[in-house]
Amino acid sequence: MLYIRPFQSKDQKAVIDLILNIQQREFNVPVTLQDQPDLLQIEQFYQVNRGNFWVALTPNDEVVGSIALIDNGDTTATIRKMFVKAEYRGKLYGTGQKLYDLLESWAIDHGFQSLWLGTFDRLHAALRFYDKNGFVSVDKRQLPPSFPIMSVDNRFYTKSLPYFSIRAAKLTDIAGVLALQSLYLFANLSEQEREQGFVTTPFTTEQLERVIGEEAGLYIAVQGESVIGYAFGASWGFWSQWPIFNYMVERFSQFTFDNQVFTTQNSYQYGPICVDISMRGKGVAEALFGAVKTAMSKRYALGLTFINQVNAISIAFHTRKLGLAIVDEFEFKDKQYFGLAWHSDPNV
């Protein structure tokens, strides 16, 4: 199983060998290492500001793929150094797609509104890949002034990103939160619609006013003037108005997380989280969770949440994507739930 992580200095020789072999030997691109001094200073050139450089590795730590993002210093970013070793291309491994998906999620999370790239017209598979992923061809004259052109580039592409911002909710956002809640509330959905995920806890205007004013515990994702996502994080005192949360507190003695016992003083309850279906898979949910986790880390060491066991979409997202651990399983009012935990520290 391949895995992807940010570039480390120990990867430099392997990355250079990977890229030069593909450029020179496989595709006869007239470019040398001297033409690409960025490869000798990847950390200083790419991993600055909002940029990054990622590598794909085998279980034996062989570098078999790379991709980089340059922060152009505005709302645009440039894709560079997307290369995958021949044996690891195609649907079997999906290396290129996984690298690109990670880069796009990073770009969205960090506020970029468009991606740009230059490539070489002999790289036919790469051109097809960009077409498949929604890029459109542009003339060189349309490139943003900040775009870093390489001498061998003769084809150029761009893609607009679903730009959004994350911030703490204000009282004026309540109408937008309630509207989004209504769209995805369990009671309002058909069985088929519930398969795409849902929220189970309905909030009133008064409850939203309290979580915003007293807890500073509601974060929203905004696109233009629209609320496209929200996530809660608040004390057990706030949640005590709902019986299920009191029952969760009663169960604290039934489980631990990394040998730590939960209390109402050292932990908070996160969720629900809701993202408009048109924005799912684009980094919104991850950004919302990160905002809540960062804010709550100033007050609590641990986080806890519950998910209805029929909500497969939410379970997969929180365990596989966010890495939350299932620490409890319980029944409440004839429904089955998982309890999930994590360290509140955003660096853990």
Place of tokens 């088929």: 192
Q: Looking at per-residue confidence, does 199 or 44 come out higher? A: 44
User: How does pLDDT run across 50-102, given as a tens digit for each residue?
Assistant: 999 999 999 999 999 999 999 999 989 999 999 999 999 988 899 999 999 99
CA angle 295, 297, 302 (to 5 degrees): 130
Do the Cβ atoms of 39 and 19 come closer than 8 Å?
Answer: yes
Report the mean per-residue pLDDT for the chain: 93
| The two three-digit tokens of residue 200, written as one number | 């189970």
Q: Cα separations (Å) of 63 from 57, 70, 121, 163, 313?
A: 5, 21, 25, 32, 32
Q: What is the pTM of this model?
A: 0.58
Name the residue among 39, 68, 54, 62 with its Cα closest to residue 8. Answer: 54
Neighbouring residues of 280: CB distance < 8 A, sequence distance ≥ 6: 197
- The pLDDT value recorded for residue 108 is 82
Strand order, beta sheet including 302-308: 165-168, 218-223, 226-234, 267-275, 302-308, 335-343, 325-332
Predicted confidence band at 109 (pLDDT cuts at 50, 70, 90)?
confident
Q: Average pLDDT, stretch 194-212?
A: 92
Task: Output the pLDDT for position 52.
Answer: 97
Domains of the chain (ranges, CATH numbers):
3-160 (3.40.630.30), 165-343 (3.40.630.30)
Least confident of 14-23, 51-60, 193-202: 193-202
> How many CA atoms, within 13 angstroms, populate the side-chain half-sphere of residue 165?
7
C-beta separation of 135 from 159 below 8 A:
yes
Count other Cβ atoms within 10 Å, centred on residue 88: 17
Closest listed residue to residue 327, CA positions, set 280, 275, 240, 267: 267
Q: Is the pLDDT of residue 326 over 90?
A: yes
What's the CA angle centered on 37, arms 94 and 26, to 5 degrees? 45
Q: Residue 229: which of 192, 176, 190 has the closest Cα?
A: 176
Residues 237-242, mean pLDDT to the nearest whole number: 96
Burial (CB < 10 A; 0-12, 13-18, 19+), residue 218, is buried
**Of all residues in the chain, what percent carry a pLDDT higher than 70?**
99
For residue 196, pLDDT beyond 90: no
- Using only C-alpha atoms, the chain has a radius of gyration, in whole angstroms, of 23
User: b vs e for 117-143, b when ≥16 Cβ sit within 10 Å of the residue's Cβ?
Assistant: bbbbeebeebbebbeeeebeeeeeeeb
pLDDT band of residue 132 (cuts 50, 70, 90) is very high
Task: Specify whether the CB–CB gap between 66 and 82 falls below 8 A.
Answer: yes
Work out whether the CA dihedral 176, 177, 179, 184 comes out positive or negative. Answer: positive
Residue 88, CA atoms < 13 Å, CB-side half-sphere: 22
Among 82, 80, 81, 84, smallest CA distance to 64 is for 84
The tally of CA atoms less than 13 A away on the side-chain side of residue 160 is 3
User: Is the previous residue joined to 202 through a cis bond, with omega within 30 degrees of 0?
Assistant: no
